[in-house]
Structures are given as structure tokens and as C-alpha cells.
Amino acid sequence: MQHFPHEMPIVAILRGIRPDEIIEVAGALYDAGIRAIEVPLNSPDPYDSISRLCTEFGEKCLCGAGTVLMPDQVDLVAKAGGRLIVSPDSNAEVIRRAVELGLVPAPGFATPTEAFAAIRAGAKILKLFPAAAYGTGYLKALREVLPGDVSVLAVGGVGPAEMKEWLAAGAAGFGVGGTLYKPGRPVAEIAERAAALVAAYRAAV
């Protein structure tokens, strides 16, 4: 079950990244095989980072924003060149605005009610968050009622060791934050961690 826009369905979550480091970090991620990158909007100068990211990697990666909470933020992300709109919640206005602009919304959900509200608003990718708190059994049960053309990303507390189990439960991919990137972490270490994630995913599938 693979409906993510790229063959490597791992979204790198760069919470806290600065504009002056985004290109070097994104380059390391890209070289490791990552093809989707989000800059959470509670990072320093996020729209500047997104603009730089999309100018350099927009044609090669699915780039955009995380922690998108309001429709006007969707407009600002689009203006910066972003295509991916990731949220911690299922805000129908945010999802609809993203769809209107031809962007890719990936709203967060916890319950079937939230999942179906997001789907009705136009979402094709859902983010189970925080995934580790719910577990693979929860996703497996949900997948029995969710439409087959809707992807679920497991986000929050899922690392290389857990990928196989989550994929077996019906996850289509993953969002990875602190396991991959933290402010101040050396780029060489980020590259190693990204390569380990990509290798784990390939081994799991």
C-alpha cells in the first residue's frame, strides 16, 4: 500500500533548524536517500528556511512545512515554494486550503472521527500522531475501516527498529524528527542517522 508521492516514504522533520543550515542538512538527507523534508513552523524564520529548501531541492524532494495550524500559513508556505503541509491536528480549513492550492496535506489524527473528517476535507495522507502512544495494534484495527487509497504515516516514537512492525500493521511510511535531527547535531551524524533510516526501511519492505 504505497500512495506517498515518493518511493522513499520517510519525512524528515527538521524542528528548530535555521535558514543558514537548511541547505547543508537537506543535502546530507538527500544524499542518504531521504526524499521528503518538512520545516516545522515553530522553527526560527521557517518561511526563509522553506524558501531556501524549495529553491535548492524543490524539484527533487517533496518539501514543505510542519506544525501548520491555520489556512493563512498554508498560503505563506505555498508562497515560499512548499508543497507539503503537515499538521499535528485535523483542521478541515487547512486541509481544504492545501488541496485548493494543489499542495499535499498530511494532517495529524488520533481517532477514527478525526481520520474521516480529514479524508472528507480532501486528505489522502494521514499522520498517526503520536504513533508510539497508540501502537501497531491500533493502526491495524483502523486500517480495516480506512479507505485503501489513503496512506497513514506513523509519526512520533518510531525509529529504524520499529519500521517492519509498523509496515506490517498498515503504515505506508514514517515521519522522523528527534531521532534524525536536533539543533546542534553535527551534519555528519545526521547523515549517518538518515542512512540508517533509509536502510531500515528498505530492509523492512
3-state class (DSSP) for residue 9? coil
| DSSP notation for 50-115 | HHHHHHHHTTTSEEEEES--SHHHHHHHHHTT--EEE-SS--HHHHHHHHHTT-EEE-EESSHHHH
For the chain, the residue count is 205
CA–CA distance, 115 with 199 (Å, rounded to integer)? 30
Please check whether residue 183 is in contact with residue 22, taking contact to mean a CB–CB distance below 8 angstroms.
no
CA geometry: angle 51, 73, 94, nearest 5 deg: 125
Q: Which residues are catalytic?
A: 38, 127
